[in-house]
Amino acid sequence: MNTNENHVEDTHFAMPRIGDKAPEFKAVTTQGDINFPSDYKGEWVILFSHPADFTPVCTSEFMTFAHLEEKFAQANCKLVGLSVDGLYSHIAWLRTIKDKIKFNGMDNVEVKFPLIEDITMNVAKKYGMIQPGEHKTQAVRAVFFIDPESTVRAIIYYPLSLGRNFDEIYRALIAMQTSDKFNVATPADWNPGDDVIISPAGSCGVAEERMSSSDELECEDWFFCTKKLDRDLVLNEILKK
């Protein structure tokens, strides 16, 4: 039995963890060369991978991301895509999307955000986008949320067959920005305008005070307190006008 072959077969590529600095790389893209993440310092960025050009699920996703690009930009967030295909394949595919494809009421869609050429799979491996149990030469549908300090803040992975939920991707972005801005946490299914969660009390005295006298907080128990956070206040603080 060839041990070298076994080593290749059993290789699992590492992925950044939440709280890690985003791995650095230089790459050729459909919008020119980029130096990541330093080119995006001071901005949020969503780095996402797709399995292959000229595939239907990926096409639906790129059209949706392109359609929503301005919405993400208003939240100080840039989009950067990646697959292991070459630059000319990318260009031909994006041209085909614009000229021929209609989906979900969208047509004539121009993808303006960068799409990384990653034939060597160097970037995909750095970010753990190659999952050998799913596919050895195609990236899964990974989504990395990277904050203005180039820190990985959230990660969502989807299998090859499952198209992403873009409402959830946007919701997660706004929720993290809300947590940063207002020093709160967001509960299940939170959207702007919903109540937010206050961190549990750090002492018995604070817990008792919260339960008995706070007009601002609504406490179900000492560890579970929420408060109102106005939708317009959230959006005015986060979205570029």
Residues of each annotated binding site: 141
Q: Angle 114-171-124 (CA atoms, 0-180°, nearest 5)?
A: 35
Rounded (to 5) percent helix, strand, coil in the chain? 35, 25, 40
Give dist(CA 233, CA 182) in Å, integer: 10
Helix (H), strand (E) counts: the chain: 7, 10
**What is the secondary structure of 185-236 as a DSSP string?**
B--TT--TTS-EEEPPPSSHHHHHHHHHH-SSEEEEETTEEEE---HHHHHH
Could you tell me which residues are annotated as the binding site for substrate?
Answer: 141
Q: What is the DSSP letter of 82?
A: E
Show which residues are catalytic: 58
Compute φ and ψ for 79, nearest 5 degrees: -110, 140
Cα–Cα dist 226/199, whole Å: 9
